[in-house]
Amino acid sequence: MYHKKKLALFISHIYGEYQNNLCQGVIHKSAEYGYQVEVYASNDGEDLGNYGIGEETLLLVPNFGDFDGVIFASSTYSDIKIRNQVCELLKKQELPIVEICEYQPTFPALSLENNLTTGTLTEHLILAHGCRRLCFLGCRNELFFSDRRQKAFEDTLNRHSLCFDEQDIYLCNDTEEDFVNALNYFSENGTRKFDGVVCYNDRVAIGFWLAAHEMGYEIPKDFAIVGCDCLKEGQNIDPPLTTVTFPTYQLGTAACDFLVDLINGKSAKNRTVFAEPVYAGSCGCICHKDTPSFIYSRSLHKRIAILENSMFTSMRMSADFSHITDIDEGMDLLEQYVRAINDCKEFYLCLYANWDTLSSHVLELTGSSGENADTADDHSVLLKLALKDGKRLPECTFKKTSLLPEFLQKTSTSSYIVSPLYFEDRAFGYLAFSFRDNQVNYDFKFVEWIMNITQFLENIRQVKHTRVLTEHLEDIYMKDVLTGLYNHHGFDHYKEKLLASAAEGDFIFAMLFDLDCLKVINDSFGHKEGDFALRGISQALRQAGSEGDIFARFSGDEFFCLLKGKNEQTAKDFILKVNSYLESYNRLSSKPYNISASGGYAFAPYTPDMQSADIDALFAEADKQMYTNKKSKVKEVLRE
């Protein structure tokens, strides 16, 4: 078994700017060390309704024996349950693990320190711009980090012997109304008494700035505003927002450096990546923007166009898949959408062997003998759709000992984004895809895309279940419960089909069989044995018949057979096969009785105007012959 150098990254919301940059940093730095990365991406925290129940199926995908180490971006998980499940799974692995986390890490940790820098900006307002009355605008929705930045703010004021009180601290809900409330709260009787506001982050700072602007304030002429996290939006307003860097790409590269050191046996002491202040115009500093405003405006228009296109693509995708009931047809359709993804180098859709198996309840209800979810081979994976460098590869099955089949892994230099495919709590499989030059950059709505695929797979599974249940209902309506042969409904239905398939030169044969001495068997051994004998006759008919022949039991001990053939020998051969089967059975049987049947037949040449009444007439003639044979037959049912 070959082994390639691989690292795993567990992260949530990969489409977010923070996560995307972090992921890119990990992938690029890993490549420098000669490692590939498998990025296990979840979507916890999204408002997905019952769809989100199966998020934990992601934990079924990784093969930890493939990895040299793991990076766990635990701070990106908004769902504590999912984060803890990933954590518990990682605890069981004997691998070097680096956790990206600012609070109570489980593993050797790398943290991003961009909270203390709030104090640096506060001190800058005091020393560089002479501010003496400063306020802090926090965020109630992200209280943990907001409190830490508030403390850095307060510590700085205390260090410079500047007073503050409750009127200088406000926690907002990040709404337009609350930003206005904050501005009024900081003022006394409608009069501004402050000369600077330190905001929890750029989003809060921009919202507060807009509220101040609408109330007639000018920034920084009337008061200074500073933020944190360095959003592009904040750097492209006039004047640009003074803020703090958000070095998430560097966080990813540092995490990779840390993990490689652990792999090589170096110190596991926790490490920190520090943010830096970005002094711009909103605090009063002289600032010259490197990029003209129209460049950012143009990029926004482009981004809006991409989002609109993605939205319409998702809608078309959902509509296109809604009527697909064949898995192969669905894969052909999905291929078209994959080819439209910019710079997608590889795309693989892998299905577990039990992805569409019937539930135990359906199997029990229908008496089906197929595999269910509990008995299917859970070590096998079907590579259902594979696209690499623009070419579609054939399907194949592989053992679940690595993410992809060995022939793909051996030659690949790609790092893969891996996302589970599931519907509610049922695991279907997973997607694995990569981009050219390992540049994680996609312009489609990731969650909607995945949901369209999984909804399609669930539809296929439900079609299979519906078909099985429908066939079961048809059996109940069309078949005799005891023998499994057709009942009166089934016989009438398929009789018409047999006549429709007949051609000039064919003969139609009506045959009747009657179980010999059913009453004797019932009286001597009980009705269960009588039922067993009836099933024996039905099996003899099936074994003697050919495709298209119709066998039925309406009630009692009579069996109706409708066949087509080229001459009378068809009927003679059929009777011979039935008797031969029963003779063979009786020789081997340990039952205290023999199973035998008396038969008769009648036939007529097929004509296009042949009707049901003609068939009934043939059965009436066959019935007379059957009773003649029954009376003349020596019956040896009971064994001595």
What's the mean pLDDT when you consider all of the chain?
88
Domain annotation covers residue 371: yes
pLDDT for 52 beyond 60: no
Domain annotation covers residue 547: yes
What's the rounded mean pLDDT across residues 308-315? 74
pLDDT for 158 beyond 60: yes
Nearest-Å Rg of the Cα atoms of the chain is 38
- Look at 39-48, 452-461, 580-589 and tell me which has the smallest mean pLDDT: 39-48
493 in the same domain as 469: no
pLDDT for 44 beyond 80: no
518 in the same domain as 574: yes
Domain annotation covers residue 75: yes
State yes or no: cis peptide before 239, omega within 30 of 0: yes
pLDDT for 562 beyond 60: yes
Strands 6-12 and 36-42: what pairing?
parallel
pLDDT at 294: 67
Q: Tell me phi and psi for residue 191, to 5 degrees.
A: -110, 130
255 in the same domain as 158: no
pLDDT band at 253 (very low <50, low <70, confident <90, very high): very high
The two tokens of residue 547 are 């495709």
Let me know the angle formed at the C-alpha of 320 by 319 and 325, rounded to the nearest 5 degrees. 110
In the three-class reduction of DSSP (H, G, I as helix; E, B as strand; rest coil), residue 274 is classed as strand
Comparing 619 with 367, the larger pLDDT belongs to 619
pLDDT at 1: 43
Parent domain of 586: 488-632
pLDDT for 541 beyond 80: yes
pLDDT at 81: 86
Q: Find the length of the chain.
A: 640
Instruction: List, for residues 177-192, the tens digit of each pLDDT value.
Output: 999 999 999 987 667 7
Domain annotation covers residue 289: no
Domain annotation covers residue 216: yes
In the three-class reduction of DSSP (H, G, I as helix; E, B as strand; rest coil), residue 97 is classed as strand
pLDDT at 640: 61
What's the rounded mean pLDDT across residues 420-434? 89
389 in the same domain as 358: yes
Instruction: List, for residues 339-374, the tens digit of each pLDDT value.
Output: 988 889 999 999 998 888 766 666 665 565 555 444
498 in the same domain as 608: yes
Domain annotation covers residue 305: no
411 in the same domain as 464: yes
What is the rounded distance in angstroms from the CA atom of residue 41 to the CA atom of residue 446? 11
What is the rounded distance in angstroms from the CA atom of residue 624 to the CA atom of residue 599? 10
Helices (H), 52-142: 80-91, 117-129
Domain annotation covers residue 212: yes
**pTM exceeds 0.85, yes or no:** no
Domain annotation covers residue 309: no
What is the rounded distance in angstroms from the CA atom of residue 543 to the CA atom of residue 506? 22
Neighbours of 494 (CB within 10 A): 18
Strands 271-274 and 380-388: what pairing?
unpaired
Q: CB under 8 Å to 141, separation ≥6 — which residues?
A: 173, 174
Let me know the angle formed at the C-alpha of 65 by 60 and 66, rounded to the nearest 5 degrees. 90
pLDDT at 146: 94
What is the rounded distance in angstroms from the CA atom of residue 613 to the CA atom of residue 574? 24
What is the rounded distance in angstroms from the CA atom of residue 264 to the CA atom of residue 257? 11
Comparing 154 with 324, the larger pLDDT belongs to 154
332 in the same domain as 382: yes
What's the rounded mean pLDDT across residues 67-96? 92
> Residue 589 sits in a domain of what CATH number?
3.30.70.270
The domain total for the chain is 4
377 in the same domain as 496: no
pLDDT for 47 beyond 60: no
What's the rounded mean pLDDT across residues 309-338? 86
pLDDT over 70, % of the chain:
91
The most distant pair of C-alpha atoms in the chain lies apart, rounded to whole Å, by 125
339 in the same domain as 199: no
592 in the same domain as 494: yes
pLDDT over 90, % of the chain:
58
pLDDT band at 629 (very low <50, low <70, confident <90, very high): confident
- Beta strands (DSSP E) in 279-318 are none
353 in the same domain as 405: yes
- Candidate ranges 54-58, 285-289, 467-471, 544-548; pick with highest mean pLDDT: 544-548
264 in the same domain as 206: no
Q: CB under 8 Å to 205, separation ≥6 — which residues?
A: 137, 197, 199, 225, 226, 227, 228, 234, 241, 243, 282
Do the beta carbons of residue 601 and residue 575 sit within 8 Å?
yes
What is the rounded distance in angstroms from the CA atom of residue 305 to the CA atom of residue 324? 29
> Residue 219 sits in a domain of what CATH number?
3.40.50.2300
Instruction: List, for residues 381-405, the tens digit of each pLDDT value.
Output: 999 999 999 999 999 999 888 899 9
pLDDT at 346: 94
pLDDT for 4 beyond 80: no
